[in-house]
């Protein structure tokens, strides 16, 4: 057993330092990127631009936080972009109900978004765990179901004109930082506590490492799996609200391809695509790297097509470097 899971066999102090080493590697990459853009684009380091980057990465950071749970447990969620659109249009429809007082309508809309997200996530987890089918294909199906439902609910129309009191949150700032980013950061911190300090969190890592071993030791992975995907869904519901409050619209075609950015942030952040290894600190750094890259290249005046090529190359580079880091930490062990 201990040979199969060397991580847990090591003293705690050792494990920590190796995790730190892993995150430090991504941190160095981020610092190098920031230093490069600071030299190449004069406005990059300005306070306004820093604040813009934080706003721009907020939605991806929330989605990536949820995605980390799905990937750590050995799964993946391809439905987050489509489910986000469904959450947004359901929330938007509820918020526009004239029969309700404004505050109640907004509150119910937020609750509905969370509810739809959690329900979709739990359903993903349930189908995948109960019938033992890969979450890759279950969530691919959910992607189509959610997108279709979102179109059906709205008849393909854009919902607009939301209460000002709700829209104000989208662009509000606190201590010079965007409120929505602080919310995303708080969510990430909460997720970090859950993953590192609770039984549920330890079970996620254990299942991601070796599901069979968890089963043989007398635990049922089923509940943990459903719950992990429900957490992914809850994050999607929150991201949808952030979208609506920031852009004041909800349409059924929003969020196309967002799942890919979220997965990229998680993987660049050093979480293993096969599960069991990684952290939310890495995900935070991964999301920042993607955001800084997109922003910095525009500021430098790099054209659209070249920007796309560079972003792709950085993702490939990140996973290649990660394979070296994994080898290094194994040899240290």
Partner 1 sequence: MDRRSFVIAGFGAGMLAAFPGFARAAGGTPKIGLVMKSLANEFFKDMQEGAVAYAKKRGGFELIPVGIQSETDIDGQIAAVENLLTRGVDAIVIAPADSRALLPPVARAVKSGVKVINIDVAFDPESMKKRGVDIAFVGPDNRAGAKMSGEVLAQALGRGGKVVIVEGNPGAENATQRKLGYQDAITAGGLTLIDSRTAHWETEEANSVFTDMLTAHPDIQGVMAANDSMALGIVKAIQARGKTGAIKVVSFDDIPAVKPLLESGALLATVDQFGSQLAADGIDEALKEIGGQNLTGWIKTELKLVKGKGAA
Q: Do 289 and 33 contact (CB within 8 A), yes or no?
A: yes
Q: In sequence order, what are the residues at sequence separation of 6 or more whose Cβ sits closer than 8 angstroms to the Cβ of residue 26?
A: 268, 269, 270, 282, 285, 286, 289, 318
Q: Of 165, 183, 168, 153, which is closest to residue 91 (Cα–Cα)?
A: 153
Residue 304 lies near partner 1 (rule: CB under 8 A) = yes
Residue 52 lies near partner 1 (rule: CB under 8 A) = yes
Residue 96 lies near partner 1 (rule: CB under 8 A) = no
Scan for tokens 């979450």, then name that residue. 135
Residue 294 lies near partner 1 (rule: CB under 8 A) = yes
Provide, rounded to whole angstroms, the least separation between the CB of residue 213 and partner 1.
42
Residue 18 lies near partner 1 (rule: CB under 8 A) = no
- Binding residue for partner 1, selected from 76, 295, 322, 329, defined by CB under 8 A: 295
- Binding residue for partner 1, selected from 14, 136, 160, 222, defined by CB under 8 A: 160
Provide, rounded to whole angstroms, the least separation between the CB of residue 293 and partner 1.
12
Residue 165 lies near partner 1 (rule: CB under 8 A) = no
Provide, rounded to whole angstroms, the least separation between the CB of residue 134 and partner 1.
23
Residue 247 lies near partner 1 (rule: CB under 8 A) = yes
Provide, rounded to whole angstroms, the least separation between the CB of residue 309 and partner 1.
13
Comparing CB distances to partner 1, the nearer of 58 and 224 is 58
**Size of residue set near partner 1 by CB under 8 A:** 35
Comparing CB distances to partner 1, the nearer of 92 and 121 is 92
**Would you give the distance in Å from CA 285 to the centre of its chain?**
12
Residue 299 lies near partner 1 (rule: CB under 8 A) = yes
Residue 147 lies near partner 1 (rule: CB under 8 A) = yes
Residue 305 lies near partner 1 (rule: CB under 8 A) = yes
Q: Residue 160's beta-bridge partner residues?
A: 249
Q: Do 221 and 112 contact (CB within 8 A), yes or no?
A: no
- Binding residue for partner 1, selected from 3, 13, 47, 48, defined by CB under 8 A: 48
Residue 79 lies near partner 1 (rule: CB under 8 A) = no
Q: Per CB under 8 A, which region of 5-13, 109-117, 124-132, 300-308 contacts partner 1?
A: 300-308
Q: Per residue, what are the HEC states of the chain? A: CCCCCHHHHCCHHHHHHHHHHHHHHHHHHHHHHHHHHHHHCCCCCCHHHHHHHHHHHHHHHHHHHHHHHHHHCCCCCCCHHHHHHHHHHHHHHHHCCCCCCHHHHHHHHHHHHHHHHHHHHHHHHHHHHHCCCCHHHHHHHHHHHHHHHHHHHHCCCCEECCCHHHHHHHHCEECCEEHHHHHHHHHHHHHHHHHHHCHHHHHHHHHHHCHHHHHHCCCCHHHHHHHHHHHHHHHHHHHHHHHHHHHCEECCCCCCCHHHHHHHHHHHCCCCCCCCCCCHHHHHHHHHHHHHHHHHHHHCCCCHHHHHHHHHHHHHHHHHHHHHHHHHHHHHC
Residue 34 lies near partner 1 (rule: CB under 8 A) = no
Residue 283 lies near partner 1 (rule: CB under 8 A) = no
Q: Per CB under 8 A, which region of 110-118, 215-223, 241-249, 315-323 contacts partner 1?
A: 241-249
- Binding residue for partner 1, selected from 158, 198, 217, 274, defined by CB under 8 A: 158
Q: How many CA atoms lie within 13 A of 319 on its CB side?
A: 13
Comparing CB distances to partner 1, the nearer of 41 and 142 is 41
Provide, rounded to whole angstroms, the least separation between the CB of residue 39 and partner 1.
15
Q: Per CB under 8 A, which region of 14-22, 23-31, 38-46, 195-203 contacts partner 1?
A: 38-46
Residues in contact with partner 1 by CB under 8 A are 41, 43, 46, 48-49, 52, 55-56, 59, 147, 151, 155-158, 160-161, 171, 243, 246-249, 251-254, 256, 294-295, 298-299, 301, 304-305
């Amino acid at each position: 057993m201990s040979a199969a899971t060397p991580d847990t066999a090591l003293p705690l102090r050792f494990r920590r330092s190796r995790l730190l080493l892993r995150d430090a590697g991504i941190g160095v990459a981020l610092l190098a990127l920031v230093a490069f853009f600071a030299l190449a684009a004069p406005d990059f380091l300005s306070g306004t631009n820093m604040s813009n980057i934080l706003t721009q990465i907020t939605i991806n950071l929330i989605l990536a936080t949820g995605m980390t749970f799905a990937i750590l447990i050995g799964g993946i969620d391809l439905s987050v972009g489509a489910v986000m659109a469904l959450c947004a249009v359901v929330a938007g429809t509820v918020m526009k109900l004239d029969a309700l007082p404004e505050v109640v309508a907004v509150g119910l809309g937020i609750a509905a978004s969370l509810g739809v997200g959690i329900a979709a996530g739990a359903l993903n987890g349930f189908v995948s765990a109960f019938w033992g089918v890969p979450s890759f294909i279950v969530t691919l199906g959910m992607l189509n179901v959610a997108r279709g439902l979102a179109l059906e609910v709205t008849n393909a129309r854009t919902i607009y004109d939301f209460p000002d009191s709700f829209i104000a949150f989208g662009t509000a700032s606190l201590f010079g930082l965007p409120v929505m980013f602080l919310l995303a950061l708080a969510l990430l911190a909460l997720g970090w506590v859950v993953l590192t300090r609770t039984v549920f969190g330890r079970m996620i890592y254990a299942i991601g490492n070796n599901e069979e071993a968890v089963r043989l030791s007398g635990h049922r992975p089923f509940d943990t799996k459903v719950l992990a995907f429900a957490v992914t869904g809850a994050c999607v519901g929150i991201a949808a609200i952030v979208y609506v409050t920031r852009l004041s619209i909800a349409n059924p075609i929003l969020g196309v391809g967002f799942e890919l950015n979220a997965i990229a942030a998680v993987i660049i952040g050093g979480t293993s695509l096969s599960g069991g290894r990684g952290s939310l600190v890495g995900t935070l750094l991964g999301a920042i790297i993607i955001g800084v890259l997109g922003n910095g290249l525009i500021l430098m005046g790099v054209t659209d097509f070249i920007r796309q090529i560079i972003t792709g190359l950085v993702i490939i580079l990140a996973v290649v470097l990660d394979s070296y880091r994994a080898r290094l930490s194994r040899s240290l062990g």
